[in-house]
Amino acid sequence: MSTQRPPARAYVETYGCQMNISDGELMEGILERGGYTIVDSPDAADVVLVNTCAIREHAETRVLGRVSQLNGLKRDRPDMVIGVTGCMAQRMGETLLDQAPYVDLVMGPDGYRTLPDVLANLDDKRAGRTTTTIEDVVERPRKRGPQLAVLQLDVDENYQGLEQRRADGPSAWVPIQRGCNHRCTYCIVPYVRGPEKNRATDEIVAEVRGLAEQGVTEITLLGQTVNSWSYDDVTFPRLLQRVGRVDGIRRVRYTSPHPNDVTDELVEVMATEPTVCAHLHLPAQAGNNRTLKRMLRRYTVESLLEKIDLLRAAIPDIALSTDIIVAFPGETHEEFEDTLDLMRVARFHEAYTYKYSLRDGTPATRLPEEDFVDPDEAQARLEELIRVSRGIQAEINESEVGRVEDVLIEDEGRDPGQIRGRTERNKVVVFDGDPSRIGAYTRVRLERTTGSTFAGSEVGRPVTVSA
């Protein structure tokens, strides 16, 4: 479609959840195959993509600030392209181009396959070269070359056949599903990522094999409701089993599951497959039935606790973490206290806690105005929830001091001479060691806890005494 271009450099900056980080890697892979060199700073880049999150208002405010800061780079390099991709780009669409007129491209999560073509198209248009029209690209005229918008959601786009550009390391995240078929009334995800689209079993397993051959030993399967994944007649537990049995894979996790798809079959695979970790992030969202119903979570506190019992009966040692939203519109103080009770009964090892954030276009925005919880009250509930959940986390972790655990060494520690690893149950532990051992597994005694993380020491390694 266009003339030969000089080599260009691209930089992708990602915000938000693990799915988005994985999408960032996917965009890098697509750009690299499209002839771009990926660089790790915006300063030297010809194309800067900010890959955004829309889950809470705060995430979006941060991105708008960052994009305006990046615009400063255009002063010296007016040809630089600034693109905004991901969930916020999809949510705001062309209004983002009005609000941030220096943005050259907005692209939603189903457009990434076309990135190199769309960027080439933009380049041609700026240079006044003849271009072919690309389907689904909306063009808006502007003095300094047009702005482009790619916002079509595609029920078939699961990025089959495309490879991510991954950082070297022992762990890899493998997306197996995009989008979501639920409609939790607070959540923007179904509107910006469309319905659930599952990847083919063989492709997933082949990708895991390839990663294992490159030295990856830990896999996390990713999806918005990852355990509702199925393909032809393969269910999620069978996929988990197949992935766990790939030669070289020592740890398998998955995130985030929906509690309703925690089945007997899944629990059995978790309990019996040695590589499937004794850890699960199980979003509860609230501990009151009226709130859960109005959130359209499709379970009750009782049925959630049954799932937790099922997991703990089969895997007594399992570490469960969760997500909780406080101050959902209409939540009374008593109903909030039910959530605190759930925390005390379920005893999650960790909780990610959020204040309800209004997302335009979601059903909860249509609740009566007087239902919206006063911001000071919402803040007080959040702080109380954090206090309770941190207390429980600290109690659990203190009871685990003295245990000896298998640890995958992931990174350097904060202090020189220290390294940081993770146990099978997803607990972070710091201990003395050499960074050259990143990627190795070792045995570590947990010696102290800050409440949330541990300090430990390796066991069974000969002590080297320097002369």
Binding residues for ligand 5AD (CB under 6 A): 55-56, 186-187, 283, 285, 323, 325, 354, 356-357, 359
Smallest distance, ligand 5AD to C-beta of residue 356, A: 5
Specify the amino acid at residue 171.
Answer: S
Q: In angstroms, rounded to a whole number, what is the distance separating the alpha carbons of residues 187 and 353?
A: 15
* Interface with ligand SF4, residue 148, by CB under 6 A: no
Cβ distance to ligand SF4 smaller for residue 258 or 294: 258
3-state DSSP call for residue 312?
Answer: helix
Cβ distance to ligand 5AD smaller for residue 79 or 360: 360
* Interface with ligand SF4, residue 90, by CB under 6 A: no
Query: Residue 323 burial by CB count (10 A; 0-12/13-18/19+): exposed, middle or buried?
Result: middle
| 97 φψ region: left (φ > 0), alpha (ψ -120 to 50), beta (else) | alpha
Return the DSSP state at 212: H
**In angstroms, what CA-CA distances link 201 with 22, 193, 205, 214, 262?**
18, 21, 6, 20, 20
| 140 φψ region: left (φ > 0), alpha (ψ -120 to 50), beta (else) | beta
Residue with smallest beta-carbon separation from ligand 5AD: 323
* Interface with ligand SF4, residue 258, by CB under 6 A: yes
228-248 burial: b if 16+ Cβ within 10 Å, else e: bbbbeebbbbbbbbbbbebee
Cβ distance to ligand SF4 smaller for residue 182 or 307: 182
Smallest distance, ligand SF4 to C-beta of residue 101, A: 31
Cβ distance to ligand 5AD smaller for residue 137 or 192: 192
Q: Which does 354 bind (CB under 5 to 8 A by kind): ligand 5AD, ligand SF4, none?
A: ligand 5AD
Helices 375-400/333-346 angle, 10° precision: 10
Per-residue x/- track, 196-235, ligand SF4 (CB under 6 A):
----------------------------xx----------
* Interface with ligand SF4, residue 342, by CB under 6 A: no
Smallest distance, ligand SF4 to C-beta of residue 235, A: 18
Asked whether 126 and 145 are in contact (CB, 8 A), the reply is yes
Q: Which stretch binds ligand SF4 (CB under 6 A): 134-142, 154-162, 181-189, 368-376?
A: 181-189
Tell me which residues touch ligand SF4 (CB under 6 A).
180, 182-184, 187, 189-190, 224-225, 258
